[in-house]
């Protein structure tokens, strides 16, 4: 059960990853294409052309009829019970942020029989594309996929038109399928990709789960399969990310880093380094020391810094600064401060005070400017550290803007108590006049 709940949580993180990755990694034109496209592979093609197709269902209509036929065998009391259960599960899932509620919902669905699942899916056919049903459908279909992954995918293709819902449900189903039969899920992806000219965008996020499981079973075989599907698109990045999270030894990470040279995408190295640092920062650092290309080594070191600072910021900062030449100390320190400001600016300020070789005024200004909207009170309390009136005025304008969004009274109090009140009031009035015009 713990592994199953872990899978549930992992899927929620993966869906979040999709929402961020998909729309930031594609061009605006590609994004418009994704939003506009309807389902490009029908259930008929899924089951007729895929050599892994199971059972005698051969058309999308037959899929629907088979599901309805089996679901309709349920007595009226059973239908009522399922309706009530679905309402309770949907309430537990809420907005997806309540782990305890999600776990309870998963446990309830885990107890569903095949008839329960089919009846539930039938009831949701007409509301499948409503945003509030995305998590519920993903859980139902992933449970159904334990025995019938192909029929689960056919249901998605036949009933879901929303790209977001389609991707979320597909990822849930394929994660279960890959865990049970990684090679079959990989072949499914290849067939889908080939049928659609290598651009089956809706399903490429499923590569994370597929390659994670392939790697656990056969590391070298997974690398070969990665190269086979390499097409210069987001496929490589997603698959490598899945592989990297499944690696367990230093030799495996090192070999995957070496093999990324065969795939022309700089982000692949960063993805592997991210996972490696999470597992063992020291191992990743030792490997980076073997890199001869100075420019490449510098980029990799910055990748280590970004990820290591999440768990051990002080150690990461000291290590990164130790790699800087004397003339580079300031620029390295500024990168550290900028990254640190997101999580704990006070600790960053304390660290900065321990390094007199760094320009305290310059780095403190960077820290305060980076923190002004996330940690406004911290910035107010340390504004006196700045001696340059211009920097202090610019930062005070930002503080006023941040406060004015939510608490106009506090914003006014800040201006009234400012040591540069007159200059600040003039600049605020100038901004108001400009915006009014």
Kindly state whether residues 429 and 325 are assigned to the same domain.
no
Residue 349 within any structural domain of the chain: yes
Residue 200 within any structural domain of the chain: no
Residue 145 within any structural domain of the chain: yes
pLDDT, tens digit only, all 437 positions of the chain: 444 444 444 445 444 434 343 433 333 333 333 333 333 223 323 333 333 333 333 344 555 555 555 555 555 556 778 999 999 999 998 866 788 888 999 999 999 999 999 999 999 999 988 888 889 999 999 999 999 999 999 999 999 988 888 888 999 999 999 999 999 999 999 888 776 654 455 578 889 999 999 999 999 999 999 888 876 556 788 899 999 999 999 999 999 998 888 877 778 888 899 999 999 999 999 999 999 999 999 999 999 999 999 999 999 999 999 999 999 999 999 999 999 998 899 999 999 999 999 999 999 999 999 999 999 999 999 999 999 999 999 999 999 999 999 899 999 999 999 999 999 999 999 877 776 65
Residue 187 within any structural domain of the chain: no
The model's pLDDT over 28-73, given as tens digits with 9 standing for 90+, comes to 333 333 333 333 223 323 333 333 333 333 344 555 555 555 555 5
Structure tokens at 352: 């900065």
Of 176, 194, 219, the last residue of a domain is 176
Residue 79 within any structural domain of the chain: yes
Residues 6+ apart with CB under 8 A from 324: 331, 332, 333
- C-alpha span between 343 and 339 (Å, rounded): 8
pLDDT at 162: 85
Kindly state whether residues 20 and 101 are assigned to the same domain.
yes
Of 176, 196, 229, the last residue of a domain is 176
Residue 212 within any structural domain of the chain: no
Kindly state whether residues 26 and 140 are assigned to the same domain.
yes
Of 176, 191, 207, the last residue of a domain is 176
Kindly state whether residues 118 and 168 are assigned to the same domain.
yes
pLDDT at 31: 37
- C-alpha span between 200 and 203 (Å, rounded): 6
Kindly state whether residues 434 and 330 are assigned to the same domain.
no
Q: Which single residue is written with the structure tokens 């990799």? A: 300
- Hey, is 146 helix, strand or coil? coil
Kindly state whether residues 401 and 365 are assigned to the same domain.
no
Kindly state whether residues 101 and 155 are assigned to the same domain.
yes
Q: In terms of residue numbers, what domain contains 431?
A: 388-437
Kindly state whether residues 89 and 158 are assigned to the same domain.
yes
Kindly state whether residues 401 and 364 are assigned to the same domain.
no
pLDDT at 61: 54
**What's the total number of domains in the chain?**
3
Residue 135 within any structural domain of the chain: yes
Kindly state whether residues 355 and 435 are assigned to the same domain.
no
Kindly state whether residues 152 and 121 are assigned to the same domain.
yes
Torsion region of 197: left, alpha or beta (phi above 0 gives left; psi -120 to 50 gives alpha):
left
Residue 86 within any structural domain of the chain: yes
- C-alpha span between 45 and 35 (Å, rounded): 22
Structure tokens at 342: 């997101």
Kindly state whether residues 367 and 392 are assigned to the same domain.
no
């Amino acid at each position: 059960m713990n592994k199953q709940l872990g899978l549930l949580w992992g899927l929620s993180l993966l869906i979040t990853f999709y929402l961020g990755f998909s729309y930031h990694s594609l061009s605006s034109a590609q994004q418009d294409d994704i939003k506009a496209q309807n389902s490009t592979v029908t259930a008929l093609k899924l089951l007729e052309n895929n050599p892994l197709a199971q059972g005698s269902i051969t058309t999308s209509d037959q899929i629907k009829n088979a599901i309805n036929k089996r679901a309709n065998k349920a007595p009226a009391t059973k239908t009522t019970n399922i309706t009530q259960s679905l309402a309770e599960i949907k309430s537990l899932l809420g907005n997806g942020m309540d782990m305890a509620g999600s776990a309870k919902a998963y446990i309830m669905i885990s107890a569903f029989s095949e008839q329960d699942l089919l009846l539930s899916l039938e009831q949701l056919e007409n509301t499948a594309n409503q945003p509030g049903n995305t998590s519920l459908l993903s859980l139902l279909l992933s449970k159904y996929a334990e025995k019938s992954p192909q029929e689960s995918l056919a249901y998605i293709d036949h009933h879901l038109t929303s790209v977001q819902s389609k991707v979320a449900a597909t990822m849930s189903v394929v994660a279960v399928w890959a865990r049970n039969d990684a090679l079959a899920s990989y072949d499914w992806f290849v067939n889908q990709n080939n049928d659609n000219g290598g651009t089956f965008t809706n399903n490429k996020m499923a590569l994370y789960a597929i390659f994670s499981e392939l790697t656990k079973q056969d590391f070298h075989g997974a690398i070969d399969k990665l190269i086979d599907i390499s097409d210069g698109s987001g496929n490589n990045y997603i698959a490598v990310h899945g592989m990297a999270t499944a690696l367990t030894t230093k030799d495996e990470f090192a070999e995957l880093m070496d093999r990324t040279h065969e795939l022309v995408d700089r982000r692949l190295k960063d993805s592997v380094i991210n996972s490696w640092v999470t597992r063992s920062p020291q191992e990743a650092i030792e490997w980076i020391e073997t890199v001869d290309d100075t420019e490449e080594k510098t980029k990799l070191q910055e990748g280590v810094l970004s990820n290591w600072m999440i768990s051990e910021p002080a150690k990461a900062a000291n290590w990164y600064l130790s790699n800087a030449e004397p003339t580079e100390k300031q620029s390295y320190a500024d990168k550290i401060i900028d990254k640190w400001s997101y999580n704990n600016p006070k600790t960053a300020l304390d660290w900065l005070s321990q390094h007199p070789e760094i320009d305290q005024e310059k780095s403190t200004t960077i820290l305060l400017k980076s923190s002004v909207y996330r940690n406004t009170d911290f910035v107010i309390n340390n504004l006196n550290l700045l001696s340059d009136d211009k920097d202090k005025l610019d930062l005070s304008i930002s503080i006023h803007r941040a406060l004015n969004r939510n608490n106009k009274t506090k914003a006014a109090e800040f201006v009234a108590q400012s040591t540069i009140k007159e200059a600040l009031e003039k600049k605020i009035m100038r901004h108001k006049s400009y915006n009014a015009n």
